[in-house]
Amino acid sequence: MKIIIIGASGTLGKHINLVLKGEGREIITAGRKSGDLQVDIDSPESIEAFFKKVKHFDALVCAAGSGHFGPLKKMTNSDFLTGVNSKLMGQVNLVLIGQHYINPKGSFTLTSGILSDDPVVNGANLSAINSAVNGFVTGAAIELENDVRINVVSPGVVEDSPNFHAAFPGHTPVTMEKVAKAYERSVLGAGTGQIIKVF
């Protein structure tokens, strides 16, 4: 089983990598500047070149993509497009392009987050982007061919991001083990079109 993990060196990616390692599984790590291969998910051309190198694969997990975190009063079109171009279209394009390379019965696992359900101050961009990623996954699930599955993991604020804890008042940080298990469920399970919430 060939599994691609994009963002494998990041806060989530490191734990996803550990939980998915196993006998008979080939893990390909990828990132903008790190990993076995490099890919810039903000660029459709980079994504296409990446898949041409990888060729066929069985599962793709994306734990990459950025958004804008800041006050609505000061937010600009350019600020908002940070999330649109990266966390939204970056992940969407991984699927739009990757569907032509993925093996039958393969799977895509994308990442959104709690702000789609429980907004916080300064998080309007990510609330919108996370909701859009969730919507894309539920819509794409009924059209992907060859029994290809797609899910999205929506984690709360995580233990390993203490710099964000203060921005999420009243939230209990989620353990990295619990979040990583959600990705394992998506990749190795049978579900599709699921928003796997980890709060």
Question: What is the tens place of the pLDDT at every residue in 23-64?
Answer: 999 999 999 999 999 999 999 999 999 999 999 999 999 999
9, amino acid identity: S
Domains of the chain by start residue, with CATH: 2-198 (3.40.50.720)
For residues 199 and 153, the answer to whether their CB atoms sit within 8 Å is no
User: pLDDT value at position 64?
Assistant: 97
Q: In what order do the strands lie in the sheet with 37-38?
A: 37-38, 26-31, 2-6, 57-62, 102-111, 149-155, 195-198
- The share of the chain scoring above pLDDT 70, in percent, equals 100
Q: Report the pLDDT averaged over residues 73-82.
A: 98
Give a three-class secondary structure readout of 55-100: CCEEEEEECCCCCCCCCHHHCCHHHHHHHHHHHHHHHHHHHHHHCC
The pTM for the full model equals 0.97
The SS3 assignment for 17 reads: helix
